[in-house]
Amino acid sequence: QSWNNRNLSSIPVDLDIRIRRLDLSNNFIRQLHKLELPCLEQLDLSNNQLDLISEGLFENLVRLEQLNLSRNELNNNLAEHYLRNKSALDQLKMTGNALTRLSHKLFTESKSLRAIAIDDNLISEIEEGTFESLIQLEVLNLAKNNLAHICDFKLRQVKFLNLSRNSVEFFVTHEDSRLYRLEVLDLSHNKLLYFPIVPKTNRLRYLYLQNNMIGSYSEAALVSETNSLYSEITLSLLLSLETLNLSYNCLQSIIWDVRNDSDSGPLRQLFFRSLKHLDLQSNRLVYISPPFLSALAQIERLNLQDNSVQPCTSADHLGRTLKHLNLKGNGIKMLQPNTFQGTSLVSLSLAKNPSLVMQEGALEGVQTTLQSLIISEINLTSSRLLSLPCMPALTHLNVSNNLLDTIPRSLSCSPLREIDIRHNVFITLNPSLIRALSTNLTVMHISGNPFNCCDNRWLMVLNETEITVKSNPGTGSHGVSSAATTLPHLEACGRLSGQHDMQAFFKPHQHCFDFKL
């Protein structure tokens, strides 16, 4: 039964005692008194003004499985009484309240809880034993609180743990070798100084560490095998890890050498056998050791945007599994021949490297696999663009914000579906090339170029095709049009040049001028 958004200040009287679902969300209820609804399984009291729940209020709701108390004004007073005699309770949501501390008594009578969300509160203290006894607990969300340290993590039963947007400086797992079921750990947007000490035996698949301070101290290097205290803080413990996000931290280098497992044991190279997605954007990286790259045995997506990494002259250390590589904004000076040889790159971004020189053959080895190439903001001229090889799989090309005045005919061998030539120095476009590209081309971005109104043949060709022209400087949906809608630009040219008849405009005349789309 739903009483959602009814401007209620209290619970309706004479509720049917047989109801199983009761939705009282989005009202103005401030206080609750004892409910006699023995069949109730789901109760939603979210988005009210609750600041007091009388003792024993939910005591007779013995079948209650889902309880939502989010977005109220509840504090720690009598908090444990909310959950008294709740052996069937499966899900609890208390998002957006005013809890400051979690007592070890809070869940003593609700041992069947599987999912708990107490995010967006003011929690700075969690008493020992609060969650340990909840053996069925799988999902725990404590994001947006005031937690500063996780010093003895031992919730082996939890699969999903969200601690994002707290003030956590350290995450240390309890010292043991028992299996932890943790699959997703979100520690993003905290104050982590060190890589977290993860369980030695784990099933961790997704680890989110973005927006922290990892690497701000020199001894906090990502994989420092020399630091005795953190000798076990290494990605080698994360054998199931598929996604690691370390963007927006303070890493300066990633050193990865062979490791001696014991003083007398043999040296062996460690491999991250499951890691597919690694995000290192916006750190201070100037060096990534080749052995580290070689250890990424299954890597598919590598984001190095906004660092200072210079690619090696050989791609021997880049895995054959690598499909997506982002090198935007690294201040790269030179790409040597065969830089990406041996990879299976599908998308490559070299944008915002203004001094970049791509030597002939720089894309050798990936010209048959590349589907998306971004080479915007690199001061690229048309003569340098001519060195691009034929790329028979290329469908998306971004050459915006450069110094181009022509598109090389070599691009006609690519099945381009979208091309971005915004903010270059194009005066005109080759009509025959436009016609050749129109076989596959569906979208063109053309704004910010000083096109000459006198040379409109390429526009006439565009009008004969089904190519969509995006003439807005932005990249959103605004400014999307068919080629025919470029005619208003021509009409404007006609008016400014004294021509008011569109047919006359398509004829040569002496009142020509330049314009920008």
pLDDT in tens, 370-385: 999 999 999 999 998 8
Q: Is 346 exposed, middle or buried (0-12, 13-18, 19+ CB in 10 A)?
A: middle
Q: pTM here?
A: 0.87
Q: Where are the beta strands (DSSP E) in 230-313?
A: 243-245, 253-254, 259-260, 267-268, 277-279, 287-288, 301-303
Q: What residues contact 223, with CB distance under 8 A and at least 6 apart?
A: 195, 234, 235, 254, 255, 256, 292
- pLDDT for position 256: 63
- pLDDT for position 236: 63
pLDDT at 29 over 70: yes
Alpha-helical (H) ranges within 272-346 are 290-295
- 8 Å CB contact between 65 and 90: yes
Report d(CA 304, CA 122) in Å as an integer: 35
- pLDDT for position 377: 98
Equal CATH topology for 1-146 and 148-309: yes
pLDDT at 516 over 60: no
Which among 18, 20, 17 has a CA at the least distance from the CA of 66?
Answer: 20
| DSSP code of residue 498 | T
State mean pLDDT over 165-170.
Answer: 97
Report d(CA 26, CA 208) in Å as an integer: 33
Domain residue extents for the chain: 1-146, 148-309, 426-517
Domain 148-309 adopts which CATH fold? 3.80.10
- pLDDT for position 226: 35
pLDDT digits (tens, 9 = 90+) for 208-250: 999 999 987 654 444 443 333 443 445 667 889 999 999 999 9
Q: What is the CATH number of domain 1-146?
A: 3.80.10.10
Q: Which amino acid is at 32?
A: L
Distance of CA 11 to the CA centre of its chain: 42
Q: Which amino acid is at 210?
A: Q
pLDDT digits (tens, 9 = 90+) for 307-323: 999 987 665 577 899 99
State mean pLDDT over 109-127.
Answer: 96
Q: Which amino acid is at 318?
A: L
